[in-house]
Structure 1
Amino acid sequence: MRPSTLFWSASSLLLAGLVAADASDVLSLTDSDFSSSVDSENLMLVEFFAPWCGHCKALAPHYEEAATELKKKNIKLAKVDCVDQAELCQAHGVQGYPTLKVFRNGTPSDYSGPRKADGIISYMVKQSLPAVTQVNADSLDEFKTADKIIAVAFLPSATDAPAPEFSRAAEKHREDYLFGLSVDPEAAEAAGVTPPAIVLYRGFDDAETTYPYPAASVSSEDLSEWIAGLSIPLIDEVNADNYMVYAQSGKPLAYLFYTLIFSEA
């Protein structure tokens, strides 16, 4: 192989590697394409950041991971560099970094979810769904594992009690949990319940728990309290994302503080 050919091949491989390294599923928006991008999407999460911001740097890998996963569900994540796009960030009321906003067809609302990848994914999936998702025998298995906490009401019909109360609880907690309703007898049979019944599916501790009282007479307040009581793992690592959940749970808590000691092999 001639030297020039070898040099060209090596350069091509290097360039390809750089392109791959820079590949990202997070869209970078500027003033010229911001409105057209967010207005055309039913749902989009946008991070307003500054390159020097330590919290932004900590968020970055989680944001990238969430973008890659949510891309599969056609939910886009974007970012705006507020150093280069100061006027755009000012126009959206950005006062600190990172600021995250959820856009629905161009209309913004504050993001109030976690800052870790799985939390961002969970939050945005909930945002993409109606407060109550219709579930049948074919979709039950997938739906009950779609998040860490899922409540499913199995009813004879969509208007039977406690459908109205179930919907009220779902509207109130749509950012916290997933809610499904099934009027499919085969789905109830697969769940091992007789309608009306409410089953809570969890990704921790006991995987399935049935509401222990007559489901037809449950109020939205009682349902919310029951779900909240089962929404916290018995043992978990406390971090910035879940600290307040435990602190506000009203349950007696025991904390174990420990230090990790790494030894060289």
Structure 2
Amino acid sequence: MVSLVKIAFSIIFFAFFASSAASRVIELSDRFLDIHKEGQWLVMMYAPWCAHCKRLEPVWAHVAQYLYSSSVRVGRIDCTRFTNVAHTFKIRGFPTILFLKGDQQFIYDGDRTKDELVKFAMRLSGPTVQEITRTQSFDTIKNDRDLYFLYVGDKIGHLWDIYYKTADKYQQHAFFYQSHQDVVDNHAPVIKVPTIFVYKENLHYNFSINDDNDYDKINDTMQKWINSERFPTFPKVTRGNINQLFLTNKNLVLAVVEENAVEDISQDMIEFRDMVESVIKNKRHKYHDYFQFGWISNTELVNSIAMMEMTKPSLLVINTSTSHHHIPDDEPSKLTPQAIELFLEHIQNDTATRYGGNNVVVRFYRWWFETKMTLASMWKGNPILTMLLFGLPALFLSLIFYGICCPDILDAGDDDEEEEDESNDSSHMKKD
């Protein structure tokens, strides 16, 4: 009896918590157009019939709960009811996630997880570059931020101007800070000021400057450096971040593995993934400027890129500039760090076999392959529904074509019957 009471209490508690979390989301209407420039807003534009929107709802409730005590207000708008809002913000698909502050508008295109959405909001809610004035703050920042950029020095000079401008461009993708050498203390290896670091994987990597006086060169170099370093050394690649990874213009080295429904990976897959990761971790100085490493478990995405059904585990290297891809000739089970390094050297020397690309023939083949895989997936998931979806339209079109093509035959049959009737009538008249 006591256990039943406890279970009932737990159910009531979790139901109340879920209801409380959901209530943090503000239901908005057309009036939002009058107030959207007041304060900071993280808004989901949705449609009730959208399956992706429904999957996002519980995540959105947790985001609202987490940001409730911050300056960011979290809301959502039914664009099928309030079409003026959808028209004003030029909404083309659902769900569309926007961060609004004043006249600025940012569209979120990353993974729809609570952590990533919260980071997106927190980055944009603060100043472009946040100043750190206390040494103790670095401990907190390192615990909260797995990756951030740090400028050490006074807010003057070419380097600071370029850093601030670049931070403004990439604010939605990374955290940017500024401090002084006496505040940084032992938290970063400062040799001279001004200097810039990126912090990730518990290490600091320095931005090197060859010519302090060439403004254009520093600007171009820093833009490329920050765009490249804003990713972890070995991230998980998904549909949400692969387009951003393509912007690095590096070769994307992917360890292709398989996850189950609860995102668990078998031991042999983990060992393969760790082996690929060891190449960039041990030879970062050699490969980092030319290759971005990562791992991927999205079967549909991998097969779409390779235009074939990839085995798992396997290795796939994508040229993000030309959309070509490379696959090693060796069996995945025979790949070693040395074999992978040799394979990467062939890619650098442009001697590795290339597949794919972006010409008309390849685009058509890719479309055909994706269509085939989609139909196969639909058939495997629900063959009866697939037959109804494609069988009924095919039957309807067949009837239309039949009706278009066969009237002559029907008319011919009618004419023959009329001629036969006339001949019979004439024969009767003769007999009479």
Quote the Cα distance in structure 2 between the aligned partners of 1:31 and 1:94: 14
Structure-2 residue corresponding to 1:168: 165
- Relative to structure 1, the CA distance from residue 76 to residue 53 in structure 2 (aligned partners, 3 Å threshold; closer, same or farther) is same
Per the alignment, residue 30 of structure 1 pairs with 29
Label 1:52 to 1:142 Cα distance change in 2 as closer, same or farther (>3 A).
Answer: same
What is the aligned partner in structure 1 of residue 303 from structure 2? none
State the match for 1:6 in structure 2.
Answer: none
1:46 CA displacement: 1.2
Decide whether aligned partners of structure 1 residues 37 and 147 sit closer, same or farther in structure 2, where only a CA change above 3 A counts: farther
**Conservation of the 8 A alpha-carbon contact between 2:149 and 2:199:** yes
> Are 1:142 and 2:140 an aligned pair?
yes
CA contact (8 A) 2:40 2:71 kept: no
Q: 1:209 to 1:67 in 2, by over 3 A?
A: same
Task: Find 1:65's aligned residue among 62, 67, 83.
Answer: 62
Contact 1:198/1:215, CA 8 A, preserved across alignment: no
Q: Which has the larger radius of gyration?
A: 2
User: Secondary structure at the residue paired with 1:221?
Assistant: helix
TM-score relative to the length of structure 1: 0.76
Distance 2:63 2:13 in 1: 24
Larger relative contact order (Cα-Cα within 8 Å, sequence gap ≥ 6): 1
In structure 2, the partner of 1:112 is 108
Deviation readout 1:179-207 (Å, 9 max, x if unpaired)? 211135232444231322212112x3x53
Distance 1:258 1:14 in 2: 38
Query: Counting helix residues as a fraction of each chain, which structure ranks higher?
Result: 2
Percent sequence identity over matched residues?
A: 19
Aligned in 2, Cα 1:260/1:47: closer, same or farther, shift over 3 Å? closer
What value does the CA root-mean-square deviation take over the aligned residues?
3.2
Q: Are 2:209 and 2:218, in contact at CA under 8 Å, matched by a contact in 1?
A: no
Looking at structure 2, the residues matched to 67 and 260 of structure 1 have their Cα atoms a distance apart, in angstroms, of 29
TM-score (norm 2): 0.50
Residue type matched to 1:182 in 2? S
Q: Aligned-pair distance for 1:247? A: 2.9
Structure 2: runs of 5 or more not aligned = 1-8, 262-432
> Which of 183, 195, 199 matches 1:197?
195
1:110-132: CA deviations, max 9, x gaps? 41342332222122112112221
Q: How many residues align?
A: 246
Distance 1:211 1:76 in 2: 36
Residue 175 of structure 2 corresponds to which residue in structure 1?
178
Instruction: Give the 3-state SS of the residue equivalent to 2:258 in structure 1.
Output: coil
Pairing 1:1-265 to 2, within 5 Å after superposition: 19-23=16-20, 24=22, 25-31=24-30, 34-35=32-33, 38-40=36-38, 42-105=39-102, 107=103, 109-114=105-110, 115-136=112-133, 137-155=135-153, 157-160=154-157, 162-183=159-180, 185-194=182-191, 195-202=193-200, 204=201, 207-213=203-209, 219-260=218-259
